[in-house]
């Protein structure tokens, strides 16, 4: 299918042609006609599926006729500053042949300067929920908003923006369109969708919580204290040109970068303790190829869009299995091949099972010659683990026994009533 067939107007078609997009991705094929037809949308589209264009292109088409007023017509909410910038850059490139005014409202910039710019008339606002509320509290009106987008809604809710979104939603006019995009399908997102969406069309472009098909995933077993060495070896021996490395904590990110620098690797680091300006500078240097390795924590993993990123390495597995999906989604974007490598120690060997359960896929475990784990090393929490497993086995046994006694299914009130009724009938039957 071509973009023309989706009903997009010429200024947009020529802009995307310029960007080298040949065919719409699955989420684009499904979402673009629905957005143009004014439908609310609930899309579970992973990062890298082309979801930004899926909402941005039809939105721009809807804004092609300027209105008399100067008010904001579209609000796009995003969890982080980095993702907001990415969306902004994408919208700028899609709207290059149009007269649509777009602006980012995120923290770290002068509120007054943002207010002045807003007064001049802005069509699309891309904002983090907190900063948008600050503007609303000081006079920004959402009365003329036609479309609201929640991008990476699951992440926004995980980051504690639920209250802010609940405050923003009632301020929108009754008739407006809402597009919700989420990488994963969590209970929190489902609840929010019920509150903010009206008769939405559902778009599911990938199975719940699965990783993108084009990513090769592998886990290398290695001792904890040899991880940095193995990482440097992999980057060097396999000649990785550009690699994004994830750590679980800021502390291990800081420690890792020192080790990698000792091996002569040019590295950048992004985590919550770095200033926003610093994070942006580091990202730009990585994008421009000035640094070969970018070490990041999970908070920074969202919103990083790096073209053709071929390798993602999990130096440590994330605390939350869902974050694995977000991390590896940084590679294999828009149908391209990618590789996600996890370095797992004796502890993580068990943690990876939760990830496998979530993505419904087995991640092959291998070793690298010269880095095989020392078989004499035991987990420090071995005894605790054994005890836990025993408890689990015992409670499993109890449950199985219970199910056997109750023919497998615990009976609810209704079921019990039905059984009673049946018994009565049986008694009468012999007449």
Residues that bind ligand AMP (CB under 6 A): 21, 24-25, 28, 47-53, 305, 307, 333-334
Q: Smallest gap, in angstroms, from Cβ of residue 49 to ligand AMP?
A: 5
Q: Smallest gap, in angstroms, from Cβ of residue 274 to ligand AMP?
A: 22
- The phi, psi pair for 340, rounded to 5°, reads -115, 120
Q: How far is C-alpha 108 from the chain's CA centre?
A: 23
Judged by beta carbon, residue 98 or residue 334, the one nearer ligand AMP is: 334
Q: Smallest gap, in angstroms, from Cβ of residue 22 to ligand AMP?
A: 6
Judged by beta carbon, residue 106 or residue 344, the one nearer ligand AMP is: 106
| Planar angle of CA 170, 176, 182, nearest 5 degrees | 80
Q: Smallest gap, in angstroms, from Cβ of residue 80 to ligand AMP?
A: 13
Judged by beta carbon, residue 51 or residue 135, the one nearer ligand AMP is: 51
Instruction: Find out whether 139 and 170 touch, Cβ atoms under 8 Å.
Output: no
Judged by beta carbon, residue 24 or residue 79, the one nearer ligand AMP is: 24
Judged by beta carbon, residue 57 or residue 189, the one nearer ligand AMP is: 57
**DSSP symbol at 249:** S
Judged by beta carbon, residue 48 or residue 58, the one nearer ligand AMP is: 48
Q: Smallest gap, in angstroms, from Cβ of residue 59 to ligand AMP?
A: 13
**DSSP symbol at 431:** -
Judged by beta carbon, residue 171 or residue 334, the one nearer ligand AMP is: 334
Strands (E), 227-266: 243-246
369: enclosing H helix or E strand: none
Would you put residue 44 in left (φ > 0), alpha (ψ -120 to 50) or beta? beta
How far is Cα 135 from Cα 13, in angstroms, rounded to an integer?
34
Q: Smallest gap, in angstroms, from Cβ of residue 151 to ligand AMP?
A: 9
Q: Dihedral sign, CA of 242, 49, 10, 176? A: negative
Judged by beta carbon, residue 114 or residue 211, the one nearer ligand AMP is: 211
- The phi, psi pair for 142, rounded to 5°, reads -105, 15
296: enclosing H helix or E strand: strand 293-296
Judged by beta carbon, residue 47 or residue 209, the one nearer ligand AMP is: 47
Instruction: Find out whether 211 and 359 touch, Cβ atoms under 8 Å.
Output: yes
Q: Is 71 helix (H, G, I), strand (E, B) or coil?
A: coil
How far is Cα 407 from Cα 415, in angstroms, rounded to an integer?
13
Q: Smallest gap, in angstroms, from Cβ of residue 25 to ligand AMP?
A: 5
Q: Dihedral sign, CA of 89, 95, 97, 99? A: negative
The sheet with strand 177-182 has its strands ordered as 102-105, 124-127, 74-77, 147-150, 177-182, 41-44, 201-204
98: enclosing H helix or E strand: none
Judged by beta carbon, residue 21 or residue 88, the one nearer ligand AMP is: 21
Q: Smallest gap, in angstroms, from Cβ of residue 152 to ligand AMP?
A: 10
Q: Smallest gap, in angstroms, from Cβ of residue 280 to ligand AMP?
A: 17
Q: Smallest gap, in angstroms, from Cβ of residue 43 to ligand AMP?
A: 11
How far is Cα 363 from Cα 367, in angstroms, rounded to an integer?
13
Beta bridge partners of 177: 147
How far is Cα 257 from Cα 239, in angstroms, rounded to an integer?
18
Determine how many CB atoms are found less than 10 A away from the CB of residue 361: 13
């Amino acid at each position: 299918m071509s973009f023309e067939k989706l009903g997009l107007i010429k200024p947009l078609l020529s802009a995307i042609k310029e960007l080298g997009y040949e065919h719409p991705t699955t989420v684009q094929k499904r979402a673009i006609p629905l957005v143009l037809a004014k439908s609310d949308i609930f899309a579970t589209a992973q990062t890298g599926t082309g979801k930004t264009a899926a909402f941005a292109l039809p939105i721009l088409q809807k804004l092609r006729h300027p209105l008399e007023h100067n008010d904001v017509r579209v609000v796009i909410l995003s969890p982080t500053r980095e993702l907001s910038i990415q969306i902004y850059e994408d919208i700028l490139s899609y709207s290059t042949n149009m007269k649509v005014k777009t602006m980012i409202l995120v923290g770290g910039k002068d509120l007054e300067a943002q207010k002045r710019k807003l007064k001049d008339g802005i069509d699309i606002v891309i904002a983090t929920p907190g900063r948008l509320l600050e503007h609303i509290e000081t006079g920004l009106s959402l009365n003329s908003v036609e479309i609201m987008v929640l991008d990476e809604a699951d992440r926004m809710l995980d980051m504690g923006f639920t209250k802010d979104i609940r405050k923003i939603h009632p301020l929108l006019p009754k008739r407006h369109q809402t597009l919700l995009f989420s990488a994963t399908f969590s209970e929190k997102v489902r609840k929010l969708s019920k509150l903010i969406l009206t008769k939405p069309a559902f778009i599911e472009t990938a199975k719940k919580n699965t990783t993108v098909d084009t990513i090769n995933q592998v886990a290398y077993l290695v001792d904890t204290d040899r991880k940095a060495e193995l990482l440097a070896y992999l980057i060097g021996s396999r000649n990785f040109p550009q690699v994004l490395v994830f750590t679980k904590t800021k502390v291990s990110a800081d420690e890792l970068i020192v080790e990698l620098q000792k091996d002569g690797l040019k590295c950048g680091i992004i985590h919550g303790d770095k200033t926003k300006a610093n994070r942006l500078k580091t990202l730009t240097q990585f994008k421009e190829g000035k640094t070969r390795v970018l070490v990041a924590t999970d908070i920074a993993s969202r919103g990083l869009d790096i073209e053709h990123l071929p390798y993602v390495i999990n130096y440590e597995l994330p605390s939350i299995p869902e974050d694995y999906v977000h991390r590896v989604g940084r590679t294999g974007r828009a149908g391209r091949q990618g590789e996600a490598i996890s370095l797992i120690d004796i502890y993580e060997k068990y943690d990876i099972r939760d990830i496998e359960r979530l993505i419904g896929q087995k991640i092959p475990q291998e070793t690298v010659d010269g880095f095989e784990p020392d078989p004499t090393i035991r987990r420090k929490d071995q005894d605790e683990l054994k005890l836990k497993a025993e408890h689990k086995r015992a409670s499993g046994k109890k449950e199985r026994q219970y199910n056997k006694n109750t023919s497998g299914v615990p009976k609810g009130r209704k079921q019990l009533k039905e059984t009673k009724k049946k018994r009565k009938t049986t008694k009468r039957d012999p007449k």
